Amino acid sequence: MIAGELNPTPRFLMGPGPSDAHPRVLRAMATPLIGHLDPQFIEVMNETRAMLQEIMRTENEMTFAVSAPGSAGMETCLINLLEPGDEALICVNGVFGNRMADIVERCGAKLVRVDAPWGEIIEPAQVRAALGTCRPRLVAIVHGETSTGVCQPLEEIGRLTHEAGALFLVDAVTSLAGVDVRVDDWGIDALYSGTQKCLSAPPGMSPITLSPRAMKVVTGRKTKVQSWFLDLNLVASYVTGGAKRSYHHTAPISNAFALREALRLVLEEGIEARFERHRRIHGLLRDGLEELGFEFVVKTEHRLPQLNAVRLPAGLDDATARRRLLEEFNIEVGAGLGDFAGKVWRIGLMGCSCTENHVNMLLAALRRIMAQA
């Protein structure tokens, strides 16, 4: 069997990621390959680090893109910082907090959970109380919970974490480049993100950063990291340092080209202007959705502008309406996960998918579908 010509119908990506990629980013993907040890590629890695540092607001030397999607960035941070027997305090108020908790147990570390209902933030008082009962190596929390649309305030929890002598680990997969992320100011010791959300590059890499304090834990481990591929003690010889890089694995060259182009676009727009755009377009979507009878899951002050979790109005069937949006209008929105399945949609306004035109198309399509329902 030889498959036919690749010919997917183009979509407007308004789900939880991937988002639409800019034509310049797609063009970068098609750049002829160079080797992963070519001095030209080392330069690409250096430029990417410098731009990531600016967008993450950090001076961490250990800032690079893991050669796999965001879930691998999550795993990289946890398995490098935790050793068997360590305690880890994980804040869980959605799918991705749960995923961190799962990985902690696979590390042979002792899991301490702080839970909040889906759609609500983790309160600093909960973390303070939990820190009275354990001595964790790290406290981990999700900044932008992709399953619920919550934007978690970080500063106070970061302060409590440091007072307890722990490292502060943050999931910024959905938040980075959509809302402010200040790694150094907020005392974040390790942070991972994804390329396919507000950076609007194709999926396949996970930008991460680790503070010198976190790297000291990594280099001072008593046991080997359980993954060879994601062992930062080995990866460091390739991703940091000067011209003398040594081979670890073969980096995804094209994805690195695309990420570099996507970071250029973020900085050309300006970080603050980008946040303002996400807030403004979110406002338009919010007004339109509420008019149609959708209700936001998250209360106003804790909403991510780029990930809108909304309960469906009565009478609108989840599967039918999403199928019609996709098939008739080529618009993708995200289904609800877990308890939200069938009841909640996750509408993304991320990076290049965050435009007034996207909002207008979606609202008009919904009006049509709801009129016919």
- CB of residue 299 to its own copies, shortest distance in Å: 26
**Between 17 and 158, whose beta carbon lies closer to its own copies?**
17
- CB of residue 240 to its own copies, shortest distance in Å: 17
- CB of residue 51 to its own copies, shortest distance in Å: 6
Whole-angstrom Cα distance, residue 127 to residue 100? 16
**Rounded-to-5 percentages of helix, strand, coil across the chain:** 40, 15, 40
User: 80: number of CA atoms within 13 Å, CB side?
Assistant: 32
**Between 18 and 158, whose beta carbon lies closer to its own copies?**
18
Whole-angstrom Cα distance, residue 261 to residue 25? 6
**Between 44 and 157, whose beta carbon lies closer to its own copies?**
44
**Between 208 and 251, whose beta carbon lies closer to its own copies?**
251
- CB of residue 285 to its own copies, shortest distance in Å: 19
Phi/psi-derived region of residue 155, left when phi > 0, alpha when psi is between -120 and 50, beta in every other case = alpha
**Between 133 and 233, whose beta carbon lies closer to its own copies?**
233
**Between 131 and 192, whose beta carbon lies closer to its own copies?**
192
Whole-angstrom Cα distance, residue 87 to residue 340? 31
Q: How many helices (H) and strands (E) does the chain have?
A: 12, 14
Position 241: which residue type?
A: G
**Between 152 and 195, whose beta carbon lies closer to its own copies?**
195
Cα separations in angstroms, 360 against 172, 303, 317, 330, 363: 28, 21, 21, 14, 5
**Between 226 and 240, whose beta carbon lies closer to its own copies?**
226
Query: Which residue in 198, 180, 186, 370 sits closest to 289, CA to CA?
Result: 370
- CB of residue 165 to its own copies, shortest distance in Å: 27
**Between 118 and 257, whose beta carbon lies closer to its own copies?**
257
Residue whose structure tokens are 């009478």: 315
- CB of residue 235 to its own copies, shortest distance in Å: 11
- CB of residue 86 to its own copies, shortest distance in Å: 15
**Between 35 and 283, whose beta carbon lies closer to its own copies?**
35
**DSSP summary character for residue 179:** B
Cis peptide before 18 (omega within 30 of 0): yes
DSSP conformation letters of 94-119? SHHHHHHHHHHHHTTPEEEEEE--TT
- CB of residue 226 to its own copies, shortest distance in Å: 5
Position 346: which residue type?
A: R
Phi/psi-derived region of residue 173, left when phi > 0, alpha when psi is between -120 and 50, beta in every other case = alpha
Query: In the sheet where 12-14 sits, what is the strand order?
Result: 12-14, 331-335, 344-348, 307-311, 295-296
Whole-angstrom Cα distance, residue 127 to residue 277? 33
- CB of residue 59 to its own copies, shortest distance in Å: 13
Handedness of CA 36, 37, 41, 44 (dihedral sign): positive
- CB of residue 41 to its own copies, shortest distance in Å: 8
